[in-house]
Structure 1
Amino acid sequence: MFEWLKTLLFPTEDPSVIQSLVTIMLAIGTGVFFGRLKMGKITFGVSAVMFTGLILGHFGYRMNEEIFDFIRDFGLILFVYGIGLQVGPSFFSSFRNEGLKFNILAVSTVLFGGFITFLLFKFTGVSIENLVGIMSGAVTNTPGLGAAKNTIVELKNQFPDKTFDDPTIGYAITYPLGVFGIIGVIILSKVLLKIHPDVEMRKFRMNKINREEPLVHKKLRVTNPQYFGIPLGEVINSIGHEIVVSRLKHSGEVSVFSPKLDTELQDRDVLMIVGKEADLEDFIKKVGRPSTDSFIESDSDINKKNIFVTKPSAVHKTLSDLDLYNAYDVKVTRVFRAGKEMIPRPSLELFYGDILRVIGTDQGIKEAEK
């Protein structure tokens, strides 16, 4: 009765296209699931997909030969394309910071790995195909394996009588060591060098703050009579700091809203402000004092959400072009690009893959998201 289900889910020597697609989905699905599980403080992330693939291969799961090359190349294309979407928009701008140093380090690592592989080829007698697979697996470099496979296909066309080894075997053998070995070296280095992660993290954050201050949020109580009845935009301009006021609550009220630039400040108003810490401290000092009011953090009236920039109608537009506040009553409080937080200036141009953190009503956010 369930013979079709058994045929679909269990391994066979000559699988159909549908069976091959089920195998791929099984490897990806179980890999993503196990990649999210924690072993102590360690998670394997997407690398768990590789391990589930190895396990399925061990139990006899195969791919249809007619679609094997397509699936391999298509997966590689998606991988490279996904990386490009994530870091492409900020690739050239990163050279102004540490990008050049990191790229030199990466190129040096690749060249050194190639040099070690060449030495092993000269002195061990292992075929260059297997060594390329071993090198790719040792550094978990899947695109490198794909390039090696394509090169072998081209060589087979030129030398049809010559037999080539499959670099995938060496890749599969060394890939687990490329994952577990790195984890083991990090743990061993921590013990031998007596490294304390918490201390190092504090040093790293202080170093990052000295180079590029992160964005933070603080609460402010308006107490300076000089700014009573003054529009919010004029107050920000007069003090001269790049900050965003994401929320405002009048004294004695429980309703919270996102203020406009022409909203006039009142005595004992509570503001939620976003910007660099030094700027916020100076702004609070001039306008009032720090607040402990917890009602302004309530999400009963307004919500926040991260929106990915993916539509062509928004890419390469500035925030002032989109005018989300006037159109949907939604305010952008931060922009994330390749892990970097930025103040949402009106002139800021958006790129594909940017993330906008917005606040507003549920309906307004849904409309802006469309």
Structure 2
Amino acid sequence: MIVSQEILDWLVTALRNNPAIALFLAVAIGYPVGTLSYRGLSIGTVAATLIAGLIVGQFDIQISSNVATVFFLLFLFAIGYRVGPQFVRGVAQDGAPQALFAVIVCAMMLGTAYGVARLAGYDVGYGAGLFSGAATSSAALGLSTSAIQGLGLSPDAARAMVGSLSTAFAMTYIFGTIGPILILSQLGPRLLRIDLPAACRAYEKRMGGTGNSSGSAWHHYIMRTYRLLDDSPQVGKRVDEVETMGSPGRCFLDQIRRGEQLLAAHEGTVLKAGDIVSVAGTRSTLRRMFAAGAEEVEDREMLAIPLGGVDIVVTRRAFDGKTLAELAQMEPTHGIFLTRIRRGAMGDDIPILPQTTVHRGDVLTVVGRPQRIRASTGAIGRADFSREETDVPAMFMMIVVGALIGVPVLTLGGVPLTLSIAGGVLLAGIASGWLRSVHPTFGNVPNPVVWFMNAVGLNLFIAVIGINAGPSFVSGVRDVGMSLFLWGMLVTSLPLILAMVLGKYVFRFDDAVVLGCCAGASASTAALGLLTDQAKSQVPTLGYTIPYAVSNTLLTIGGILIVSLL
């Protein structure tokens, strides 16, 4: 026992003398715990890391707040960079109803948190932590921390208030994570009287799909080779005429073997008896077109087509806002097939349906022969062959510019108002992400780097907050008791329930996407995942991306507003 006590004393001394070790220890303990789940429910890495930091902080370890600031700014820039294209489009273009919906939901969340804090008699620290935790907005926690530190309080008073902030955040964050999952997936369909799978099937049919899955029948294709016989209806017709014979299906003639020659299938080429043609399209379309007058043959050279696909980022205005059915008729898409659409901050998969609308910043995965893809890429946007290297000068300069924009303080009615350095960096990230989507040469930050800045930057920041707040956490819990947890449940649940009613009966969002809109407005990716599983469709994702981008930004800024209001 004496040896164990000596080892513990040595460990505590080492952590106090080397706070960096304590920081990494908290993340090493918390991160894997946060990834554990039971029946799809998890407390998340942020809450687990914060709890681990609070435990490690019981050894009375202090880490400079500047360390937390550096990681937090990297995290904020990553958030802005990822949501930039969708945020700008949602505010400025056809996503306005969903963007407005997200603004109202964020206002309800902020108003509920403010009202509860006043009703319960909480100070600024507890009130701001209540808002951040109930909204699961770690970024709001950081901005609230910065705002509190800018109130001109004494170091001890500021430290105590930040401790209250961390205590309230930790106590409300867990239900803030789990609550939206349960409310949207279990209560939502019953409250709104929605049969989600049936609603998604109906939506798919209206969008031109089969209603059996997320448009899979529309984009799954095969390639076959056929020899045209003398009585073939295709003989004597031009290639462009043959390609429309399968209407409403879509097919493409790729190559023609005529004797010993292998020819590219140009629009004006006239087909002859004996030609072997390679044609791509849906199985039903090809069966219908070549049911008579043709025999299927195996020509390995003509059937050799790359399977991996190429990612193309949509940047051209001519493609922005077009449906897939419209794009299918455009010359640049001739001979290529779409297998995937990714959109938004998290790269969410969008269902591929004829009436699905494509927007700038979407990433389209297409397959086809290399020459076809090369011909179409420049017309659509740019190939997403993102370099592995990060444009470090551009990224750091944007952070500097954003931080400088956030420095000025405006005093209104004796209350200091400021965007703050953190808020400025968030806006700089949004601007950078949007500029990157429309100007491919600007500020490349590869997805793995964005993920690292987001996940690691956030968890290191949270660990610093937890460690520094550790000594005051126990007393804080003793002061507020379970009441804070219960108030947090109210702040999480009430705006979300109102949002569902608002989305269905006021904004009149389609039954298939309204719960996705609510998941986005509450920035709950886990809830969206459960909704798509229940629906057996990716259709709810269509309501998620714009509200998520807007709410992620506004809830972050709410960290400043709640401090100013209180």
Q: Fold conserved (TM > 0.5)?
A: yes
2:254/2:335 contact within 8 Å kept: no
| Secondary structure of the structure 2 residue equivalent to 1:356 | strand
Task: Map Cα deviations across residues 173-211 of structure 1 (whole Å, 9 max, x no partner).
Answer: 211101122233346527966978xx5213223124314
Question: Would you tell me which structure has more helix in proportion to its own residues?
Answer: 2
Q: 1:309 to 1:14 in 2, by over 3 A?
A: farther
Q: CA deviation at 1:148?
A: 1.7
Q: Which runs of 5+ in 1 are unaligned?
A: 1-6, 251-256, 275-279, 320-329
Match of 1:189 in 2: 187
2:341 pairs with 1:336: yes
Whether 1:170 and 2:168 are equivalent positions in the alignment is: yes
**CA–CA distance in 1 between the matches of 2:287 and 2:77?**
53
Contact persistence 1:247–1:273 (CA under 8 A): no
Q: 1:118-145 deviations in whole A, cap 9, x for unaligned?
A: 2223221111332122122112122322
CA contact (8 A) 1:304 1:360 kept: no
Alpha carbons of structure 1 residues 64 and 306: separation in structure 2 relative to 1, 3 Å:
farther
TM-aligned CA deviation for residue 249 of structure 1 = 11
Q: How does 1:282-321 map to 2 (within 5 A)?
A: 287-288=289-290, 301-309=304-312, 316=316
Root-mean-square deviation (CA), in Å? 5.4
Give, in whole Å, the separation in 1 of the partners of 2:358 and 2:203: 28
Which is further off, 99-108 or 215-224? 215-224
Question: For 1:206, which of 185, 202, 211 is the aligned residue?
Answer: 202
Q: CA deviation at 1:269?
A: 6.1
The corresponding residue for 1:236 is 243
Residue 70 of structure 1: CA displacement? 0.8
Q: 2:200 is aligned with what amino acid?
A: F
User: Could you tell me which amino acid in structure 2 is paired with residue 216 of structure 1?
Assistant: H
Which residue of the other structure, out of 134, 147, 160, is the alignment partner of 1:138?
134
Kindly state the Cα deviation for residue 231 of structure 1 after the two structures are TM-superposed. Answer: 4.8
Mapping for residues 9-158 of structure 1, pairs under 5 Å = 12-17=15-20, 20=23, 24=27, 30=32, 34=35, 39-40=38-39, 42=40, 48-60=44-56, 64-65=63-64, 66-84=66-84, 87=86, 90-91=89-90, 95-96=93-94, 99-156=95-152
What is the number of residues matched between the two proteins?
Answer: 317
Distance 1:31 1:76, change over 3 A: farther
Structure 1 residues 104 and 228 mapped into 2: Cα distance closer, same or farther (>3 Å)? same
Which residue of 2 is the match for residue 3 of structure 1? none
Q: Name the CA shift for 1:242/1:315 in 2 (closer, same or farther; >3 Å).
A: farther
1: CA distance, partners of 2:335 / 2:201: 29
1 or 2 for the larger relative contact order (CA 8 Å, sep ≥6)? 2
* Structure 2 residue matching 1:70: 3-state secondary structure: helix
Q: How far apart, in 1, do the equivalents of 2:242 and 2:14 lie?
A: 69
Q: Is the 8 A contact 1:317 1:349 kept in 2?
A: no
Q: 1: distance between equivalents of 2:177 and 2:78?
A: 22
Amino acid at match of 1:185: I
Q: State the Cα distance separating 1:83 from its structure 2 match.
A: 2.1
Shift in alpha-carbon separation, 1:264–1:150, aligned structure 2, 3 A: farther
Identity across matched positions, percent: 14
The yes-or-no answer on 1:357 pairing with 2:366 is yes
TM (norm. structure 2) is 0.43
Flag structure 2 segments of 5+ consecutive residues without an equivalent. 1-9, 210-214, 320-333, 344-348, 375-382, 388-566
CA gap of 1:121–1:342, structure 2 versus 1, over 3 A, is closer
Instruction: Please state whether the residue corresponding to 2:15 is helix, strand or coil.
Output: coil
Quick one: which amino acid aligns to residue 233 of structure 2? Q
Offset from partner CA, 1:219-238 (integer Å, 9 cap, x none)? 59878833236453343367
What is the alpha-carbon distance in structure 2 between the residues aligned to residue 156 and residue 25 of structure 1? 35
